[in-house]
Chain A
Amino acid sequence: MKNKDFLKIANKKFHSRLIVGTGKYKSMSECAKAIKISGAEIVTVAVRRVNIVDKNKPILMDYIDPKKITYLPNTAGCFTSDEALRTLRLAREIGGWKLVKLEVLGDKKNLFPDMIETLKSTEILTKEGFSVMVYCNDDPLMAKRLENVGASAIMPLAAPIGSGLGIQNKLNIKIIRMQTKLPLIIDAGIGSASDASMAMEIGCDGVLINTAIAKAKNPYLMADAMKLAVNSGRKSYLSGRIKKNIFGSASSPKKGLI
């Protein structure tokens, strides 16, 4: 039986609902193996200067084939709209990447997004033909504004980037889910498999994870755990869970009781 449950972003279909970051791994081969195990079809990548001194430094593209895995260039480290726009225009030039992850930070300590700069950038990038997946706060009003200016996916944080704290404001994520038909992807703050499952159970379309896999003692095992967690959370969401009840309801029939 073919799986008909797709994640659709900017008219592209993906089987996997787990997006994986490629940073913080011990080596590129470790990163490539973890991605393979995770089953991710989209990976985030950063845009940085080529090392012109050490020409033998390994190149990401030699380990993760962009023809097989969709590269999602990010703007990590950008604190203004201008920096983010410059970065993504360069990313597009590398090889035609139009599907991008916008992330404009406002605070170096907690890495929260600057939503004013983010909103401004989303509007400009969309007009330039980019499909913009936007890292944002878990603020339903801002999410709506991003949608209004043409975002391709809303990606609220669960908690600060790399914190591993899990979803801090479930209610807001649920409200965003109720108000938008755009892909809703939890980006940042996932720590363990149960966090990923919870995101999927409350109706998110996907989860983006980097640190939780890359910095686990065993990244391969965690990559597999996250894959299973996203799948089980999705199935749980689709199955239509039972109503919560404060009283017990016996599972065994009373009839025939001795």
Chain B
Amino acid sequence: MKFKNKIKININGKKLTFNKNDSLFKLIKKLKIPINKVAIELNKKIIDKKKVNKIKLKSNDKIEIVHFIGGG
């Protein structure tokens, strides 16, 4: 089974294949996201950024990563 260890997650509205049991921290690192400049929501719950390495991702997890952009 080729995809046994893979899960599908939804991040910022996009589907992504990711390793099963990998942490949220690993995902953020993979995507090269500057963690001190963002906020993260996992399944509509805000995540304490200090704990991202302890959070394991599951199949169909919905992640939102937001930051500040120009606005009025």
Contacts and interface: CB of A to CB of B under 8 A. Distances in A.
A65 to B, nearest CB: 12
A100 to B, nearest CB: 12
A49 B65 contact: yes
The residue among A21, A47, A92, A208 with the most chain B CB atoms within 10 A of its own CB is A47
A21 B70 CA distance: 7
B55 interface: no
A31 B44 CA distance: 32
B72 A21 contact: yes
Interface residues of B, number: 26
Interface of A: 21-25, 28, 31, 44-50, 52-53, 55, 59-61, 71, 73-74, 76, 86, 89-95, 161-162, 188, 208, 210-211
Given A49-B12, A49-B13, A89-B46, A94 B70 contact: no
B63 to A, nearest CB: 10
Contacts of B64: 49, 90
Interface of B: 11-14, 31-34, 36-41, 44, 46, 49, 64-72
The residue among B13, B40, B69 with the most chain A CB atoms within 10 A of its own CB is B69
A178 B40 CA distance: 43
Contact of B39 (A28, A55, A90, A161): A90
A161 B72 contact: yes
B65 to A, nearest CB: 5
Nearest to B30: A52
The residue among A23, A53, A91, A94 with the most chain B CB atoms within 10 A of its own CB is A94
Contact of A52 (B12, B36, B44, B68): B12
A53 B36 CA distance: 19
The residue among A31, A47, A49, A89 with the most chain B CB atoms within 10 A of its own CB is A49
A48 B69 contact: yes
Nearest to A53: B14
